[in-house]
Structure 1
Amino acid sequence: MNNVTRGGQFLVKQTACEDVFTPEDYTEEQLMMRDSVKEFIDKEVWPFKDRFEKKDYAFTEACMRKAGEMGFLSVAVPEAYGGMGMGFVDTVLVCDYISGATGSFSTAFGAHTGIGTMPITLYGTEAQKAKYVPKLASGEWFGAYCLTEPGAGSDANSGKTKAVLSEDGTHYSITGQKMWISNAGFCNLFIVFARIENDKNITGFIVENDPSNGISMNEEEHKLGIRASSTRQVFFNETKVPVENMLSERGNGFKIAMNALNVGRIKLAAACLDAQRRVTSGAVKYANERVQFNVPISSFGAIKYKLAEMATSCYAGESATYRASKDIENRIKLREEAGESHQEAELKGVEEFAIECSILKVAVSEDIQNCSDEGIQILGGMGFSEDTPMESAWRDARISRIYEGTNEINRMLSVGMLIKKAMKGHVDLLAPAMKVAEELMGIPDFDIPDYSELFSEEKDMIVRLKKAFLMVAGSAVQKFGPDLEEHQQLLMAAADMLIEIYMAESTILRTEKLAKKVGQDACKEQIAMAQLYLYKAVDVISQKGKESIVSFASGDEQRMMLMGLRRFTKYTNMPNIVGLREQIAAKLIAANEYCF
């Protein structure tokens, strides 16, 4: 616990591989939990994918009840309220492996355990938690979350739903329309956000689902993907809610919503991981079985390229997601040891890493979309057919870039939150940015460094990529000040640089730790994936850095920054990318599945 980091500090702090948690560090208990979840999905969910695709909402509900009986809905719930009270890494692990078979079940699970249950667990009074949480933890009741409205999506605090206090002060009457409500068709309670009078911020309420109390719904939405996830519009017409069902304090709803989204973002990243493993495994199996020109198509370089890239993005996503989840868990424990309640410690622990949560949400949701798209391509015509699981994986993946805050919003949030942390003194960006500016004015070092140790050049490259980001972001802040948020294309380009730094560094640190544990020969393919991911990250950072620089700098300043960018993104020993892909693909083809 001596090296507990702060959110966003990865950009200005060198992290030792020993200080990151990786999937190779699972405890025996975590491995047992993982295997139990996988067995449940393989037995109860995966064989019945066709029922989900045929919009069998009742089957989704039945699977949720079975998950409740197995205890999977209660992993994050404290023991005092009927839960397992497990750590943050455990909750991420369960979310990971329970989500791979179908997006319909994954969405139902995530909506219930996350935004349906967690706001009460973290913000509820003792009476509210005692009344509702045990029922939600067991699967006796299911929860749903009513935030989005026809005119309030990304701008969540602009909702028009009203809550009016009764004359006798005993209850509120809630009136308004909510849309895209997951689990609406079978939930027992809603977390509803409404505005009291002309308050600046919305307020949260716990509302039991009683149709006789002014609650009605539209029919199920017909969607591109997650077809058996119950999604309905919900209407409240003077729905009476006891005053004791206000969640937290008046006007605190926006804060509840934002903190719920922070947790939802890292769990959404986790929920994309096993989907990637299954898609990659399916593509490898098909490529080994499909014969064209008298050989399996897995022997073709074009197919090897795709398989290697699919596996690499999954490996990187695992590396970064579990790194962040353990950082959050460590921060929660630190706060608890300082005397905070579990409630407060978890809230602040997750909020601390809101930047990483946004980074992961963007990166991993885009990776599963690309992975499933390549899966369809490898299967060719069969990939486009409903007879194989590829097309449903592609459709299910598409929503991941929209909910829990669109990827565009999350990109801008990640940079905006980092700058705010710097202004509060939580992350020192100013001093490192000034050092980079001084370095640009100095004479470059032309000595060829000694890169004989594993990852010595790669880790040096990560240091330089961080300098590239600090150069761009520092100059942009200096140029635009508080108006920077109005320059959205610049923010999004800077966010892509930030994302690639975190993902590449996480992948290298995981692999370095593994190599120290088992030896380099035993993890050659993982080393290849770390090098391949970094190479691609350097390309993205070079491109987005140029795009950013030319958008706000000109003349000598522009030339100097572009020269600096070239210096920061230059390899001494360029890796053989084709050879790395061949090596990774060979391992996958021999194993006939994703095997990392």
Structure 2
Amino acid sequence: MSEVTEKEIVRGGQFLIKETKSDDIFTPEDFSEEQEMMRDSVKEFIDREIWPNKDRFEKKDYAFTEESMRKAGELGFLGVAVPEEYGGLGMGFVSTMLVCDYISGATGSFSTAFGAHTGIGTMPITLYGTEEQKLKYVPKLASGEWFGAYCLTEPGAGSDANSGKTKAVLSEDGTHYKITGQKMWISNAGFCSVFIVFARIEDDKNITGFIVENHADNGITLGEEEHKLGIRASSTRQVFFNETKVPVENMLSERGNGFKIAMNALNVGRIKLAAACLDAQRRTISGAVKYANERVQFKTPIANFGAIRAKLAEMAASCYAGESAAYRAAKSIEDRINARVAAGESHQDAELKGVEEFAIECSILKVAVSEDIQNCSDEGIQIFGGMGFSEDTPMESAWRDARIARIYEGTNEINRMLSVGMLIKKAMKGHVDLLGPAMKVAEELMGIPSFDTPDYSELFAEEKEIIGKLKKAFLMVAGSAVQKYGPALDEHQQLLMAAADILIEIYMAESVILRTEKLAKSKGADAVKEQIAMAQLYLYHAVDLVNTKGKEGIASFAEGDEQRMMLMGLKRFTKYANLPNVVALRETIAAKIVDENGYPY
């Protein structure tokens, strides 16, 4: 691929200022035959090995988690993202997302072990390691012979990851470092072979990464297994290092580069965490539908009641939107990686820069989908009623497992603020032109609105116009906030959170509209009426939320005439010409789900 083509690929954050066409996005309906075969293989493994043994995970059978991971390694699932020269399958970014998606549906315990190993346990060596380090460690990690863990968090260093106190002291003969410190919440600690450890050398500003083999006779001790709300069979322990010797050749990347490694690892982890919530939603919806069809009250299945059907429809719409946005972003990342490789970069550098380019979208997805799975599992419990609160049904464990997703890979609060902060930094670097569009919105607010009757005869004509107006709402609020506070905007966290919610809804709603438009073009609108209803339902809620968060943001920094003008603009930007019949949309969605007795998309 030429350099020119590479530049034409959309950049991270540009969705806000560029109109994206449905033909230009990737959707789950675009999976190749190879990807469908991989998906089916993963589903078959989960249904055979994991789902029937859910009770073993809930009873904290850590040994079974390790055994299941070894089986996943034998089938090649642990090496999907690893280049072939290091023992992996060398598949593209979309395929790695696909495996992460479907391997995560049965239990959060196995999902966490898988994600910690393949992501933050293996990926830092694959992307930052020397050739010698990759040849030594990655093949064993890709096959499941060894397992990896990631030691970043400390008692005093969580979201502020660079504040860790763990020290690395160079030996007098210069052959090794001695690492001393305490790490906590370390997934896979109980059975890992290799730790990725972050420590500070002398008084360096930034931490440094190290590859540390797990040998008990080398000053490494483990705390007891943590007893957690969910992910009960995910081995989670504290790890103590007491002058643990690490050869100098096991430094990962350069001295002081650990913070960058940690942040880039989190970018990948965030989008894959979103994927890891998707099949959990599908299974939760399907379980809730089956129960609703079987549970009879007042002489009829509760699936016939409107209150239950509304819940099922909302659960399905959120899942469908999450799929749409996650795979759209995954393909954007894959295209950027492929373009960089074609331009002569190593796969290592191309993947790092490709994911980093879409860090905004990664944070958006992490927040949106982690909150959707929590809401989905909560409604699943409600549909089951009293039985949902019992450990004898899968909803209770699904709810507990879902709760951690809003915390890992940076809390949702941190990711909300990051998404807006990164967008503003991109604008300041000239990577995304926010100033020009924001000025046009300001001019539009001063002008007289058009009273022409638009033509909404084409499918999604009004919906796409609304998406464009929601983007104007964000530019109005964020642009004015930046103008008022400048660099001090970081200090106004509640305002940033409100702006982030608007940004998130724009990306998610646009993704689901574009996916469905593409699907309708290929199959005909009549054949995908339920998907159309889900897209319209999701957008309806997005518009409502943008209106609410927009008012909250505007009121926090604007007064008098400025406030009145912006509120009038917000009303204009969140107004439907033809308000959708939400009850009818939900009924269309629910009828299909209830008839199919599960999530059918």
Say which of 293, 305, 309 aligns to 1:300: 305
Cα shift at 1:460: 0.2
Q: Deviations over 1:387-422 (max 9, x none)?
A: 010000000000000010000000000000000000
1:20-419 correspondence to structure 2 within 5 Å: 20-419=25-424
Name the TM-score, length of structure 2 as normaliser: 0.99
| C-alpha separation in 1, matches of 2:250 and 2:452 | 67
> Shift of residue 486 of structure 1?
0.3
Match of 1:489 in 2: 494
Deviations 1:109-129 (A, max 9, x none): 000000000000000000000
Alignment of 1:555 onto 2:568: no
Q: What does residue 599 of structure 2 align with?
A: 594
SS in 1 for 2:238: strand
Distance 1:561 1:549 in 2: 7
Deviations 1:12-54 (A, max 9, x none): 0000001100000000000000000000000000000000000
1:573 is the counterpart of 2:578: yes
Matched position secondary structure for 2:169: strand
Give the superposition deviation at 1:566. Answer: 0.2
Q: Deviations over 1:282-313 (max 9, x none)?
A: 00000000000000000000000100000000
CA distance in 2, matches of 1:270, 1:13: 25
In structure 1, how many angstroms separate the alpha carbons of the residues matched to 2:370 and 2:396?
16
Letter in 2 for 1:401: R
| Residue equivalent to 1:510 | 515
> Counterpart amino acid of 1:120?
I
State how far apart, in whole Å, the 1-side matches of 2:472 and 2:526 are: 32
Q: Measure, in 2, the Cα distance between the counterparts of 1:19 and 1:174.
A: 49
Return structure 1 stretches of 4+ with deviation > 6 angstroms.
Answer: none
- Supply the distance in 2 between the matched residues of 1:594 and 1:313 (Cα, whole angstroms): 12
Deviation, structure 1 residue 71: 0.2
Residue aligning to 2:540: 535
Cα drift, residue 579 of structure 1: 0.3
Aligned partners of 2:555 and 2:412: how far apart in 1? 24
Q: Residue 446 of structure 1 aligns with which residue?
A: 451
Counterparts of 1:460 and 1:214, CA distance in 2:
62
The 3-state SS of whatever aligns with 2:243 is: strand
- 1:301 corresponds to which letter in structure 2? G
Aligned match of 1:501: 506
Which residue type is aligned with residue 380 of structure 1? Answer: G
Q: Residue type matched to 2:386 in 1?
A: G
Report the Cα distance in structure 1 between the residues aligned to 2:70 and 2:339, rounded to whole angstroms. 35
Partner of 2:435: 430
Q: Distance in 2 between matches of 1:448 and 1:546?
A: 27
Aligned-residue offset at 1:4? 1.5
How many residues are matched?
596
- Identity among equivalent positions (%) equals 84
Q: Partners of 1:239 and 1:263 in 2: how far apart? A: 29
Q: Extract unaligned runs of 5+ from structure 2.
A: none
Q: Which residue of 1 aligns with 2:478?
A: 473
Deviation string, structure 1 residues 78-104 (Cα, Å, up to 9, x no partner): 000000000000000000000000000
Instruction: After TM superposition, give the deviation of residue 108 of structure 1 in Å.
Output: 0.0
Using the TM superposition, give the Cα deviation of residue 485 of structure 1 relative to its aligned residue in structure 2, in angstroms.
0.4
5+ residue gaps, structure 1, are none
SS in 1 for 2:277: helix
State the SS of the aligned residue for 1:86: coil
Deviation string, structure 1 residues 253-298 (Cα, Å, up to 9, x no partner): 0000000000000000000000000000000000000000000000
For residues 173-200 of structure 1, the C-alpha deviation after alignment (integer angstroms, 9 at most, x for no partner) is 0000000000000000100000000000
SS in 2 for 1:380: helix
- Alpha-carbon distance, 1:448 to partner: 1.3
Aligned residue identity for 1:391: E
Residue-by-residue CA offset, 1:448-483 (whole Å, 9 max, x unaligned): 101000000000000000000000000000000000
The alpha-carbon deviation at position 348 of structure 1 amounts to 0.1
Whole-angstrom distance in 1 between the partners of 2:39 and 2:194: 29
Amino acid at match of 1:315: Y
Distance 2:372 2:478 in 1: 25
Aligned residue type for 2:270: R
For residues 139 and 491 of structure 2, the distance between their equivalents in structure 1, rounded to whole angstroms, comes to 45
